[in-house]
Structure 1
């Protein structure tokens, strides 16, 4: 593996983490540094929408408002470069997430807590400002709610 590829893998891992941190913190404008302006995000598997970045940011802000306590845990990403070395990549990363109706300590059986897991699939492109996702799809593998 070349140094350039290793650097790209680290940068892509950071990009995936920035996505999770933006969603967990409700920093919807931070998603502008994760996705291209024309990105298509498919959140339909867990019950969300499919659309452009602006539409999805607005939907996330409204849909996740009832769960101010949010946390993602990401696995190690699988990154593939169709052309080596190139300016495109495909990244998949497993995740678990917890959504809570409060940021305070609550009982584990508090109504409204949701836990789930799946895989984020990203089609990535290398731009002058760094790696960006031009398409993301969520593969939901499980979900529980109290």
Structure 2
């Protein structure tokens, strides 16, 4: 049986995960400072993205996200385990994206992935300390994308 504190913690972490997805889809990368710890390690290499600290991730996203005028990071099957002030999670993400191909043309493709996370409670609330993407599948990706 879950304690009221653990239920509350899990809901707070779930809200954090939804906030992350919203930030990415709004292309507001600087707001990730409200989601990750200052010393976070983020690994987006499953789809040829950056690996590194929060600043590296924000810089990468500021360069990469404008190529995708529309996207949705839809989270499901959220599995969270909390142990005091730390936690772990595995989160399914269904990610349809529209890519700007130039000359007014776009290309829609989809990615399926898992986020594997470690969370920590801070004075500002729960934050993601570690995040790694794990590729599940891809559909209709442009030929020049190697992932």
Query: Do they superpose with TM above 0.5?
Result: yes
Partner of 1:92: 90
Cα distance between partner residues in 1 of 2:108 and 2:61: 17
Q: Quick one: distance in 2 between partners of 1:61 and 1:96?
A: 21
Cα shift at 1:27? 0.9
Matched, 1:29 2:27: no
In the alignment, structure 1 segments of 5+ residues that lack a partner are: none
2: distance between equivalents of 1:137 and 1:71?
Answer: 18
The residue that corresponds to 1:2 in the other structure is 3
Q: Hey, what does 2:79 align to over in structure 1?
A: 78
Q: Distance in 1 between matches of 2:32 and 2:138?
A: 24
User: CA separation in 2, counterparts of 1:60 and 1:67?
Assistant: 11
TM-superposed CA distance for 1:49, in Å, is 1.2
Q: Secondary structure at the match of 1:6?
A: helix
CA RMSD of aligned residues (A): 1.6
TM-score (normalised: structure 1): 0.88
By percentage of residues, which structure has more strand? 2
CA-to-partner distance for each residue in 1:19-52, whole Å, 9 max, x for gaps? Answer: 1110000011211111000101000001101011
Determine whether 1:117 maps to 2:115: no
| Structure 2: segments with no counterpart, 5+ residues | 143-147
- Give the alignment of 1:36-55 within 5 angstroms: 36-55=37-56
CA-CA distance at 1:97 after TM superposition: 0.5
Q: TM-score, normalised by structure 2?
A: 0.87
Measured in 2, the distance between the counterparts of 1:112 and 1:42 equals 25
Counterpart Cα distance in 1 of 2:49 and 2:3: 39
1:114 CA drift (Å): 2.2
